[in-house]
């Protein structure tokens, strides 16, 4: 009997004996031997099939053992997993902070650059011109071809406009800023009597604004042509040119546009400049220069305020208002001229006074002329002052803007007699005594009306000239040059 068998029969092995046995026989052999002894394993010779199966199991076992060792190695590496996670998290946070700092620095740099560009832009552009009028100031699209076609200056920005006017951009902003309630007023306001009664408010621009408006008139408005039917506010044209086409007609129809200048408002003026080809931004500046709301002066807490009572409109007294009114009325004049020619009538317009005339053949068309004219005028954004609509037949005095046109251009006998009487009294008593209405420029008024009579009735100049010369010599006044020329003949 083997020594181990004797020991087993003698009793179970001790722990130290088991360890010695495993070391001497190997772990697997010891386990197999013990399983055979206990009857869990056969000690018979294995068949070939069992041997193959045993080899496969041994191979699988070795593979599993290899993977187990690998996992043990990886487990050993991950033994400090929390520390590795902390390191990775710290690196990720540091990288995130670095990127955030870069983004912040880039954003601050971009904001600073944008602020600098905006400051530079504000120095050269009008950004805001007041509530209700600033729309479109950011639109700089213009039609260069159209401006060239109209022979107009290529003004593309507020800076270019200010440079063309030879003023700083800041002054241009000051002239155009709109406030409904302002402590500053760019106009001197006063009233003059109307021929029809009541008083007309005149808004005369102050020096800086007047210079800017004069630039607009000279370089833009005067470069454009008005419709041939327009006779008022046109160089070389007068009330006589308005009246002459209607001489010796069977009937004259007179119509009047109600509130002519006040009807032409800011948006319409802006639209006109935009139509010419200017950008919306530049058109807004032009419109602000050329319009002004009617204002009421009030005192509050010791401060003087000028409160806008209506929308911005063409002011009576600005040099740009007459030219703008004629240019904006071009389509109105074209349509009314077309209507007149269709019915065999003549048509002219002097500011807000419209005149149609016809021969005997057109008398039945007067109603159609008046009604269709009303529709056209309303469509074009104006209104007819119905109280001033007149139909003047040849049997009555036909008076157009103060000139009688029944036979030849003439002035009412009543007016001529009154003026002769005035000249007689002034020659006898002097200007001051006869200036009963306190006219601020009484002698200029007399000379102007004498020139007007001479224009309408050239045949009367030989009677007027000697009287005016005598008055000037007696009272130390300056006589008109034409009086000296007539006297020298």
Least confident of 188-202, 251-265, 356-370: 188-202
The pLDDT of residue 11: 66
As a whole number, mean pLDDT of residues 449-455 equals 94
The pLDDT of residue 405: 97
Is the pLDDT score of 196 beyond 70? Answer: no
As a whole number, mean pLDDT of residues 117-143 equals 88
Q: 307 has which bridge partners? A: 181, 296
The pLDDT of residue 469: 93
The pLDDT of residue 56: 80
As a whole number, mean pLDDT of residues 260-288 equals 97
Is the pLDDT score of 359 beyond 50? Answer: yes
The pLDDT of residue 45: 67
pLDDT category, 217, cuts 50, 70, 90? very high
Residues 158/286, Cβ–Cβ less than 8 Å: no
DSSP state of 402: T
Domains of the chain (ranges, CATH numbers): 125-223+265-313 (no CATH), 228-260+330-409 (3.30.70.270), 412-488 (no CATH)
The pLDDT of residue 4: 53
The pLDDT of residue 5: 52
Residues 297/184, Cβ–Cβ less than 8 Å: no
The pLDDT of residue 6: 46
With 0-12 / 13-18 / 19 or more C-beta atoms within 10 angstroms meaning exposed / middle / buried, residue 343 is middle
As a whole number, mean pLDDT of residues 359-374 equals 96
As a whole number, mean pLDDT of residues 258-283 equals 96
The pLDDT of residue 125: 82
User: 190 in helix, strand or coil?
Assistant: strand
The pLDDT of residue 192: 78
What is the number of other CB atoms lying within 10 angstroms of the CB of residue 358?
22
Is the pLDDT score of 16 beyond 90? Answer: no
- Residue by residue, DSSP assigns 325-373 as HHHHTHHHHHHHHHHHHHTT-EEEEETTEEEEEE-GGGGGGHHHHHHHH
pLDDT single digits (tens) 39-62: 776 666 667 776 777 778 778 878
pLDDT category, 77, cuts 50, 70, 90? low
As a whole number, mean pLDDT of residues 191-217 equals 87
What pTM did the predictor assign?
0.76
Chain centroid to CA 474? 59
What length is written for the chain?
489
Least confident of 4-18, 75-89, 290-304: 4-18
User: 414 in helix, strand or coil?
Assistant: helix
The pLDDT of residue 36: 78
Q: What is the mean pLDDT of the chain?
A: 90
CA–CA distance, 288 with 320 (Å, rounded to integer): 12
Residue 24: both structure tokens together: 């001497």
Is the pLDDT score of 1 beyond 70? Answer: no
The pLDDT of residue 17: 84
As a whole number, mean pLDDT of residues 54-72 equals 81
With 0-12 / 13-18 / 19 or more C-beta atoms within 10 angstroms meaning exposed / middle / buried, residue 71 is exposed
Cα dihedral across residues 367, 369, 370, 373: positive or negative: positive
User: 294 in helix, strand or coil?
Assistant: coil
Is the pLDDT score of 2 beyond 70? Answer: no
């Amino acid at each position: 009997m083997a020594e181990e068998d004797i020991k087993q029969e003698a009793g179970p092995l001790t722990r130290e004996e088991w360890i010695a046995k495993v070391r001497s026989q190997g772990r697997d052999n010891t386990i197999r031997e013990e399983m055979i002894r206990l009857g869990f394993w056969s000690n018979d010779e294995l068949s070939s099939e069992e041997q193959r199966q045993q080899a496969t199991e041994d191979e699988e076992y070795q593979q599993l053992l290899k993977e187990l060792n690998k996992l043990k190695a990886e487990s050993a590496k991950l033994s400090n997993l929390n520390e590795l996670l902390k390191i990775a998290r710290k690196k990720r946070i540091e990288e995130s902070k670095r990127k955030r700092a870069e983004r912040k620095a880039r954003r601050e740099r971009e904001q600073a650059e944008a602020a600098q560009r905006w400051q530079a832009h504000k120095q050269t552009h009008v950004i805001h011109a007041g509530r209700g009028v600033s729309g479109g100031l950011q639109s700089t699209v213009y039609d260069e071809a159209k401006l060239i076609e109209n022979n107009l200056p290529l003004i593309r920005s507020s800076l270019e406009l200010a440079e063309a006017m030879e003023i700083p951009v800041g002054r241009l902003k000051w002239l155009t800023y709109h406030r409904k309630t302002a402590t500053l007023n760019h106009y001197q306001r006063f009233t003059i009597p109307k021929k029809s009664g009541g008083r007309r408010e005149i808004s005369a621009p102050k020096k800086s604004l007047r210079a800017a408006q004069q630039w607009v008139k000279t370089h833009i408005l005067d470069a454009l042509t008005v419709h041939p039917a327009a006779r008022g506010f046109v160089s070389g044209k007068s009330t006589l040119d308005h009246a002459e086409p209607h001489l010796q007609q069977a009937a004259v129809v007179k119509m009047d546009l109600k509130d002519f200048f006040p009807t032409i408002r800011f948006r319409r003026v802006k639209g006109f400049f935009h139509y010419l080809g200017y950008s919306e931004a530049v058109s807004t500046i032009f419109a602000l220069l050329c319009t002004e709301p009617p204002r009421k002066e009030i005192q509050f807490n010791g401060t003087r305020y000028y409160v806008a009572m209506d929308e911005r409109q063409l002011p009576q007294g600005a040099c740009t208002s007459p030219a703008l009114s004629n240019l904006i009325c071009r389509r109105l004049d074209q349509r009314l001229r077309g209507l007149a020619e269709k019915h065999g009538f003549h048509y002219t317009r002097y500011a807000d006074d419209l005149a149609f005339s016809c021969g005997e053949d057109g008398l039945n068309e007067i109603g159609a002329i008046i009604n269709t004219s009303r529709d056209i005028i309303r469509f074009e954004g104006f209104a007819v002052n119905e109280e001033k609509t007149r139909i003047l037949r040849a049997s009555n005095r036909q008076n157009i803007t103060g000139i009688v046109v029944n036979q030849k251009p003439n002035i009412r006998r009543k007016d001529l007699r009154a003026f002769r009487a005035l000249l007689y009294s002034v020659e006898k008593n002097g200007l001051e005594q006869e200036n009963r209405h306190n006219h601020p420029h009484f002698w200029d008024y007399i000379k102007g009306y004498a020139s007007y009579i001479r224009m309408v009735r050239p045949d009367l100049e030989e009677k007027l000239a000697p009287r005016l010369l005598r008055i000037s010599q007696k009272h130390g006044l300056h006589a008109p040059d034409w009086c000296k020329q007539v006297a020298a003949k």
